[in-house]
Amino acid sequence: MAVRQPCARRQLRCGSVDPANLDSVSQLNILDAQQNDPSFANIWQELKWRGLVHVSTDEAELEKLLAGDPMTYYCGFDPTAPSLHLGNLVQLLLMRRIQLAGHKPLGLVGGSTGLIGDPRPTAERTLNTKDTVSEWVGYLQDQVRRFLSFDGDNAARMVNNLDWTAPLSAIDFLREIGKHYRVGTMLRKDAVASRLSSEEGISYTEFSYQILQGLDYLQLFRDHGCMLQTGGSDQWGNLTSGTELIRKVEGKHVHALGTPLITNSDGTKFGKSEGNAIWLDPAMCSPYAFYQFWLNTSDADVADRLKVFTFLSRAEIEALELAVAERPFAREGQRKLAYEVTSLVHGVDATEKVIAASAAVFGNGDLSVLDEATLKAATSELPSATVDAGALGIIELLVASGLSESKSAARRTVGEGGAYVNNAKVSDPDAVIAASQLLHGRYLLLRRGKKNLATVEVAAS
């Protein structure tokens, strides 16, 4: 199996990854090492156990289809942002699970639907320029490729719906596709109905989105014999737009599968951190922040997250679930979850750097071995200060960083053995930090006692 590298063009462009690290263990090798759980008779039963089936077309027929000869299926991703996020990760891992069962995936990145955007529940989308959407198509294609195999008898293929919609005139679109849609049915779709009842209403542009997605499925059925589309359950109206169009135009029955929208046990929306999406691109969400997001999973949610976002076996997940129940303080389930998902998305090397950074920041490792990006990500939420190169006395640093309220308090801290610079204790209140001690030539990590941390950046002279 070919090794797929993680979004090299995007990461190098953003300067978030050292080119020397691009040959680390690939995500595909991780996935292939964790084949489908042998405790399941077929992939359908596995998907149901993992909680990935919320709604579908005929269940019995779909189970038969998935248990039969290799068939082609697809999932679409719209470039409405320069990166995919955790909601998309559900679909990427679902696609890989079905591919591991022997079927043939089509990864669709919507160069045309991305110019429109599916209707949001409350307000009209801001349309991006064609150049921006085209650029983002490339980024998302790179991300999708990392989770699928493009070799072998069931090799994946990438498709772009701009290829068949761009040559289509408005008249042809209305005559050949639009005539098969009934406005009453379209109005009853959840996304459309919610917008119609809002103050903003809905434009014809976004109203037509479901027709474009239906056209995608029809085209992929004609070109590739595609028999299944997957997506989130909130996309069910768009998914069935395609199944109905194929039934009307071709007289064939095809399938759709909608995964549940994942929420936390307290009912809050999953995948948001302080109002921001958790992106898969390390330039938009660092591997450190990504790892910490999973590490902070509540005990009540760990087992469900392990089922959806890892390829661990049923026995492994049940053992971790028991460990969380019996030894919640050890956080075994959270640590395993964070390791597995971060390794899938960012690679093993990046994950191990994150773990080393976490240990080092809290005094259990060598800070000097951390690369600058990892160091900055690991300390990004700490209090920070900027000082001049001539103000590197330990007393001045403790005060400037806010770890001590005054010089006298700083002297007491040093005298009591509670002052640390880069995890090294400082016992002399007159000590001056040498330039050679600066991390990456400009950073210091200060600690007062065991838990009070701050960073200092030394301004260039």
In a domain, 273, yes or no: no
Pairwise CA distance, residues 160 & 144, whole Å: 12
Range of the domain at 451: 384-458
Q: What CATH number is attached to the domain comprising 397?
A: 3.10.290.10
Q: Is residue 184 part of a domain?
A: yes
pLDDT digits (tens, 9 = 90+) for 316-348: 999 999 999 999 999 999 999 999 999 999 999
Same domain, 107 and 180: yes
Position 121 in a domain: yes
What is the rounded CA–CA span in Å between residue 16 and residue 18?
Answer: 7
Mean pLDDT score, 132-143: 97
Q: Is residue 422 located within the same domain as residue 341?
A: no
Let me know whether 46 and 104 are in one domain.
Answer: yes
- 119 and 218 in a single domain? The answer is yes
In the predicted model, is pLDDT for residue 4 greater than 80? no
CA nearest neighbour of 442 among 427, 423, 452, 457: 457
Query: Hunting for tokens 């989130």 — which residue is that?
Result: 232
The reply to whether 282 falls in a domain is no
The average pLDDT across 394-410 equals 95
Query: Looking at the predicted structure, is the pLDDT value of residue 196 above 80?
Result: yes
Dmax (CA) of the chain: 85
- Is the pLDDT score of 18 beyond 50? no
Instruction: Confirm whether 49 is domain-assigned.
Output: yes
* DSSP-derived 3-state class of residue 105: strand
Beta strands 443-448 and 452-458, pairing class:
antiparallel
Lowest mean pLDDT among 16-20, 99-103, 120-124, 422-426: 16-20
Confidence (pLDDT) at 249: 97
pLDDT band at 295 (very low <50, low <70, confident <90, very high): very high
* Predicted pLDDT at 121: 75
Residue 31: predicted pLDDT: 60
> 442 and 300 in one domain?
no
Q: Which of 353, 378, 403 is the last residue of a domain?
A: 378
How confident is the model over 177-199, as a mean pLDDT? 86
Do residues 389 and 362 share a domain? no
pLDDT over 80 (residue 38):
no
pLDDT of 59 reads 97
310: left (phi over 0), alpha (psi -120 to 50) or beta: beta
Q: Is residue 25 part of a domain?
A: no
Last residue of a domain, one of 197, 231, 263: 263
Which helix or strand (DSSP H or E) is residue 134 part of? Answer: helix 130-145
Q: Are both 97 and 188 inside the same structural domain? A: yes
% of the chain at pLDDT higher than 70: 90
| pTM for this predicted structure | 0.86
371, 18 contact by CB (below 8 A): yes
* 393 and 372 share one domain: no
Q: Give the pLDDT confidence of 202-219 residue by residue, as tens digits.
A: 888 888 899 999 999 999
Cα–Cα dist 221/227, whole Å: 7
**Are 76 and 213 within one domain?**
yes
154: domain CATH number is 3.40.50.620
Domain boundary among 348, 378, 408: 378
The whole-chain average pLDDT of the chain stands at 89
Percent of the chain with pLDDT over 90: 73
Query: In this predicted structure, what is the pLDDT of residue 214?
Result: 96
pLDDT of residue 158: 98
| pLDDT higher than 70, residue 140 | yes
Same domain, 217 and 356: no
Same domain, 188 and 49: yes
Average pLDDT over residues 36-60: 88
User: What integer pLDDT is reported at residue 122 of this predicted model?
Assistant: 75
Q: Do 140 and 227 share a structural domain?
A: yes
d(Cα 205, Cα 423) in Å, to the nearest integer?
A: 58
Q: Which residues pair with 420 in a beta bridge?
A: 425, 447
> What is the number of domains present in the chain?
3
Q: Is residue 426 part of a domain?
A: yes
Q: Summarize the confidence of residues 234-253 as an average pLDDT.
A: 95
pLDDT at 36 > cutoff 70? no
In a domain? residue 91: yes
Q: What is the CA radius of gyration of the chain?
A: 26
Q: Which residue has the higher pLDDT, 57 or 262?
A: 57
H or E element at residue 268: none
Q: Which helix (H) or strand (E) holds 453?
A: strand 452-458
User: Pairing mode, if any, of strands 255-259 and 272-273?
Assistant: unpaired
pLDDT, tens digit, for every residue of 429-459? 999 999 999 999 999 999 999 889 999 999 8
